[in-house]
Amino acid sequence: MKKGFSVRTIVAIGIGAALFFVLARFVSVPSPVPNTNICTQYGLLAFMAAVFGPLAGLLIGFIGHWLTDLSAGWGVWWSWVIASGVFGLLTGIAAKKIDLDDGEFGKKELIRFNVAQAIAHIVSWIVVAPVLDILIYAEPVNKVFLQGTVAAAVNIVTTAIIGSLLCFAYAKAKPKKDSLKKEQ
């Protein structure tokens, strides 16, 4: 069910953004690089984008990150809010080839999911966030590319663990495609 905005998708966006916010605010660990955390919310975001599609992924990432920044006291850092939305969008696009609703998440799907999320993190944190930091906030080039590289690396690892486990559990809970057909 990855087409359009059904009631199910709208509810998923609300719940996904709220969970993104909670994970970002309370289950993130500071990294050695200033203003960069080891985040758990991107595993959830990648999973939600895989199940509900790219537009849901975009909105969950954008709204969730916006709420996180809004509540943190440092103001909304739009370059990173946009990058979170881009990550959700790109992961959702790439995950269209993975159909978790059919109850399949084997080795091939695991590899596809993790290659997709790694590429989406690289684009989001090594391209989108630093370039927007420079354009919007006139941040120093070396600083933002270091932050983006560290963010991409740690997010790839945490998403590989958390996102893969969520996808695997979700697929296991679904009936397999054609599981009710009689054997002939």
Q: What percent of the chain has pLDDT over 70?
A: 93
Residue 178 in domain: no
Q: Which structural domain, as residue segments, surrounds residue 44?
A: 7-173
Rg of the chain taking only CA atoms, in angstroms = 17
Q: What's the pLDDT band for 183 if we cut at 50, 70, 90?
A: low
Residue 29 in domain: yes
Residue 1 in domain: no
Per residue in 127-151, pLDDT (tens digit) is 999 999 999 999 999 999 999 999 9
Residue 64 in domain: yes
Q: State the CATH number of the domain containing residue 78.
A: 1.10.1760.20
Residue 182 in domain: no
Q: Which residues contact 42 (CB under 8 A, 6 or more apart)?
A: 84, 87, 117, 121, 155, 158, 159, 162, 163
Residue 28 in domain: yes
Residue 42 in domain: yes
pTM value?
0.92
> Quick one: how far is CA 184 from the chain centroid?
42
Number of domains in the chain: 1
Residue 179 in domain: no
Per residue in 5-59, pLDDT (tens digit) is 899 999 999 999 999 999 999 999 998 898 889 999 999 999 999 999 999 999 9
